Amino acid sequence: MPADEGLLDRIVNWLPTTLGFKRVASWILVPYWAHKTPVKPLPGGPHASFQHGDNVQCMMNLIMPLKVKSPIGRAEAALAIAQNKDAIYAGLNNVGTVHFARFVIVGDNICMFSVYDGDFTNYIRDFIATIGQVFNAVVSLVEGGDDVIPCEENVEAFIQWVHERDLYQVPDTPTDFLRDQEALNGDRAVSPVNDDLTLLPRKLVLQLRANPNVSLGSGYRAYPGYSAAQVRERLGLGW
């Protein structure tokens, strides 16, 4: 901090750290910024890459708001999963590219988190072909889900619907989200303004307004990426 900082500078620097200012900014300033500088939501899923290691153990973080926002709605969701447990296991086996899959209820959302290999659309399509009825049972409880079920007859729309609910994965180097913004806007030239980290908070705030839920990074691995089948093969489990 510069030593010659005056009283006014100190107030300006202190003000944003106060809770009251943050609340006022959230209600007034951020909507005003968003109105003046519209920011598009960034698409979900892993960043496209041709590197082999980036195409195994990919993350899907699906957050789906329930239609019935109450304990009854949450119980219905839990029941839908429980009733289809065997089909889910069979599906995981037949699709062959899944490492882990979890269903989680957070608030009034049913969430599906999974780690899979290969292309996202192939992954979802293979799941539809294998256990489409499970997707139908779960998605029928979710806001906007009726438009895309039965998923077997709405394959393209269903995949798109899932993709839109998959969380944006902020790059491992978080400032790289600026590059994603530029790519989304078709701006291929890197603006020097966007490299100025003093402006990052506003851009980050606006992006997180457009993408309220995000994955921070694309997952941290304790070992290099292997496909589910490679793991099974090397452990002698068959694949």
Q: Which helix (H) or strand (E) holds 133?
A: helix 120-139
| 3-state SS class at 162 | helix
- State yes or no: residue 121 binds another protein (CB under 8 A): yes
Applying CB under 8 A, the span of 5-13, 19-27, 45-53, 78-86 interacting with another protein comes to 45-53
What's the distance, CA 134 to chain centroid?
21
Closest separation in Å from C-beta 156 to another protein = 5
Rank residues 71 and 238 by Cβ distance to another protein and give the closer one: 238
Site string for another protein, 217-236 (x = CB under 8 A): ---------xxxxx-xxx--
Closest separation in Å from C-beta 72 to another protein = 31
- Taking each helix axis from N to C terminus, what angle separates 120-139 and 85-95, rounded to the nearest 10 degrees? 170
The residue from 44, 45, 46, 132 that contacts another protein (CB under 8 A) is 132
Question: Which of 133, 130, 115, 138 is closest to 60 using CA atoms?
Answer: 115
Q: How far apart are CA 162 and CA 109, in angstroms?
A: 14
Closest separation in Å from C-beta 84 to another protein = 17
Rank residues 65 and 225 by Cβ distance to another protein and give the closer one: 225
- State yes or no: residue 128 binds another protein (CB under 8 A): yes
| 3-state SS class at 166 | strand
Task: Tell me the residue type at 186.
Answer: G
Binding to another protein in span 155-184, by CB under 8 A: 155-157, 160
3-state helix, strand, coil in the chain (%, to 5): 55, 15, 30
- State yes or no: residue 49 binds another protein (CB under 8 A): yes
- State yes or no: residue 119 binds another protein (CB under 8 A): yes
| 3-state SS class at 61 | strand
- Which residues of this protein are in contact with another protein, per CB under 8 A? 48-50, 52-53, 55-56, 94-97, 117-119, 121-122, 125-126, 128-130, 132, 152-157, 160, 226-230, 232-234, 239
